[in-house]
């Protein structure tokens, strides 16, 4: 039963004078009770700093972190009731699996008068490691060790679960099965969770909502579907999944459509898009929009243009083809690339409603 809130949180590391950009800049976010919330963004964008600030390992330079409306500023990490899992599992090598899982229970009694051994067994069962309590960590695989770390974080029933790139040391297949397990465990326990990753697929697959971060700031917070289909900024459009971004100028608007010129070609977008009301005359308004690879099709006869193909990759279910159109890099998702199209052109089109207009050009 915990809602997490960050309000105006900024963090500037370091000592000296003017040592450059802030690691976090005015971060506002609310994680709802029981929600699986992900911070995603490229390396260095401030994800770990945000997580450490929530856990209390770092103090914000500005702003407030609160749990259920109660400010955590000045509250030590061990008094915040958070469970943390890091990329490096951080298991105690000289302790058995069971001792590792039970570690936090020395400081905090198991819930509901459960005995420590019973609680440890419960947790091992939850993470599918029944009967492995007597082993040493070095007798487990990476995925199993990370599940022990998860069980250890969960044993004292924290109010909040924080995970910082917990799967990045694991291979792809293991990551996928572990993320399904994590999702199941999180929704069974209904524990408020903040998950950090640089992997956008993982973020889309796991989250109820996610925050896309760039350079210490939040670009957008929304559900995976909204982030994917309605990115607000160019950064979000390009960071989450493959995308095609076009920069153009509005030529005309009427009730049916908005006509946009891109490199001398006119495209029809839905009516009313990109109009922010501030410019009194929109004739020359600049506009950026994106179209997902899957929405660019040979079969659509609107908004057609010819792409010079450069390379293509077989992806099993489809072929990804990469090329250029008027210096705009283009990614296509095709059923197949025909022999005649290789190192040549393929003409595709898109429906106006599949174009999504971005803010801020």
Q: Which residues bind ligand ADP (CB under 6 A)?
A: 13-14, 23, 41, 43-49
Site string for Mg ion, 29-68 (x = CB under 5 A): -------------------x--------------------
Three-state SS at 124: helix
CA 183 to chain centre: 15
> Residue 148 and residue 104: Cα distance in Å, rounded?
13
Nearer to Mg ion, 37 or 350 (CB): 37
74 binds, among Mg ion, ligand ADP, none (CB under 5 to 8 A by kind): none
Query: Residue written as tokens 């977008």?
Result: 269
Nearer to ligand ADP, 11 or 147 (CB): 11
Q: How many CA atoms lie within 13 A of 18 on its CB side?
A: 0
Rounded least distance, CB 216 to ligand ADP, Å: 7
Nearer to ligand ADP, 41 or 352 (CB): 41
14 binds, among ligand ADP, Mg ion, none (CB under 5 to 8 A by kind): ligand ADP
Rounded least distance, CB 43 to ligand ADP, Å: 4
Query: Residue written as tokens 């960590």?
Result: 137
Tell me whether residue 112 is exposed, middle or buried, using C-beta atoms within 10 angstroms of its C-beta: 0 to 12, 13 to 18, 19 or more. exposed
Query: Which residues are CB-contacts of 22 (< 8 A; sequence separation ≥ 6)?
Result: 10, 11, 12, 61, 216
Rounded least distance, CB 28 to ligand ADP, Å: 17
Nearer to Mg ion, 48 or 288 (CB): 48
Nearer to ligand ADP, 45 or 97 (CB): 45
Structure tokens at 309: 């193909």
- Cβ atoms 87, 166 nearer than 8 A: yes
Rounded least distance, CB 150 to Mg ion, Å: 18
CA distances from 14 to 11, 20, 21 (A): 10, 10, 11
Cα dihedral angle (99, 101, 105, 110), rounded to 10 degrees?
Answer: -120
46 binds, among Mg ion, ligand ADP, none (CB under 5 to 8 A by kind): ligand ADP
Nearer to ligand ADP, 46 or 133 (CB): 46
Strand partners, 331: 322
CA distances from 58 to 36, 85, 339 (A): 22, 16, 57
Nearer to ligand ADP, 162 or 296 (CB): 162
2 binds, among ligand ADP, Mg ion, none (CB under 5 to 8 A by kind): none
**Which run of H or of E encompasses 262?**
strand 258-262
Rounded least distance, CB 45 to ligand ADP, Å: 4
54 binds, among ligand ADP, Mg ion, none (CB under 5 to 8 A by kind): none
Query: Which residues are CB-contacts of 237 (< 8 A; sequence separation ≥ 6)?
Result: 231, 243, 245, 290, 356, 358
49 binds, among Mg ion, ligand ADP, none (CB under 5 to 8 A by kind): ligand ADP
Rounded least distance, CB 50 to ligand ADP, Å: 7
> Residue 351 and residue 273: Cα distance in Å, rounded?
14
134 binds, among ligand ADP, Mg ion, none (CB under 5 to 8 A by kind): none
Rounded least distance, CB 175 to ligand ADP, Å: 18
DSSP 8-state secondary structure symbol assigned to residue 297: B
44 binds, among ligand ADP, Mg ion, none (CB under 5 to 8 A by kind): ligand ADP
Using CB under 5 A as the binding criterion, the count of chain residues that bind Mg ion stands at: 1
Nearer to ligand ADP, 48 or 244 (CB): 48
- In SS3 terms, 7-70 reads as EEEEECCCCCCCCCCCCEEEEEEEECCCCEEEEECCCCCCHHHHHHHHHCCCCCCEEEEEECCE
Rounded least distance, CB 48 to Mg ion, Å: 3
Rounded least distance, CB 147 to Mg ion, Å: 21
Nearer to ligand ADP, 22 or 174 (CB): 22
Which residue's CB comes closest to Mg ion? 48
Residues that bind Mg ion (CB under 5 A): 48
């Amino acid at each position: 039963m915990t809602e997490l809130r960050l309000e105006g949180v900024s963090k500037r590391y370091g000592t000296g004078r003017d040592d450059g950009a802030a690691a976090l800049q005015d971060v506002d976010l609310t994680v709802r009770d029981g929600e699986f919330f992900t911070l995603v963004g490229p390396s260095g964008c401030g994800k770990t700093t945000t997580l450490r600030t929530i856990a209390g390992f770092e103090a914000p330079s500005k702003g407030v972190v609160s749990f259920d409306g109660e400010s955590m500023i000045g509250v030590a990490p061990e008094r915040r009731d958070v469970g943390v899992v890091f990329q490096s599992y951080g298991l105690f090598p000289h302790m058995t699996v069971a001792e590792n899982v039970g570690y936090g229970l020395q400081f905090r009694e198991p819930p509901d008068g459960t005995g420590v051994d019973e609680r440890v067994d419960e947790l091992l069962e939850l993470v599918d490691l029944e009967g492995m309590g007597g082993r040493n960590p070095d007798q487990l695989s990476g995925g199993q060790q990370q599940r022990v770390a998860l069980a250890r974080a969960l044993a004292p029933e924290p109010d909040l679960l924080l995970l910082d790139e917990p799967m990045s040391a694991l291979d792809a297949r293991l990551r996928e099965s572990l993320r399904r397990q994590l999702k199941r465990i999180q929704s069974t326990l209904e524990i408020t969770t903040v998950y950090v990753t640089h992997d956008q697929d993982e973020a889309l697959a796991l989250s109820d909502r996610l925050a896309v971060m760039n350079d210490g700031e939040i670009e957008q917070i929304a559900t995976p579907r909204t982030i994917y289909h309605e990115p607000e900024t160019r950064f979000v459009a390009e960071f989450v999944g493959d995308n095609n971004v076009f920069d153009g100028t509005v030529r005309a608007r009427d009730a049916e459509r908005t006509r946009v010129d891109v490199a001398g070609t006119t495209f029809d977008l839905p009516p009313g898009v990109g109009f922010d009301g501030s410019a009194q005359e929109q004739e020359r308004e600049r506009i950026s929009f994106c179209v997902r690879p899957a929405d660019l099709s040979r079969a659509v006869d609107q908004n057609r243009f010819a792409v010079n193909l450069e390379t293509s990759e077989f992806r099993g279910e489809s072929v990804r083809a990469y090329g250029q159109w008027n210096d705009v890099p283009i990614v296509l998702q095709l059923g197949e690339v025909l022999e005649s199209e290789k190192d040549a052109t393929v003409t595709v089109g898109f429906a106006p409603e599949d174009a999504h207009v971005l803010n801020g050009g």
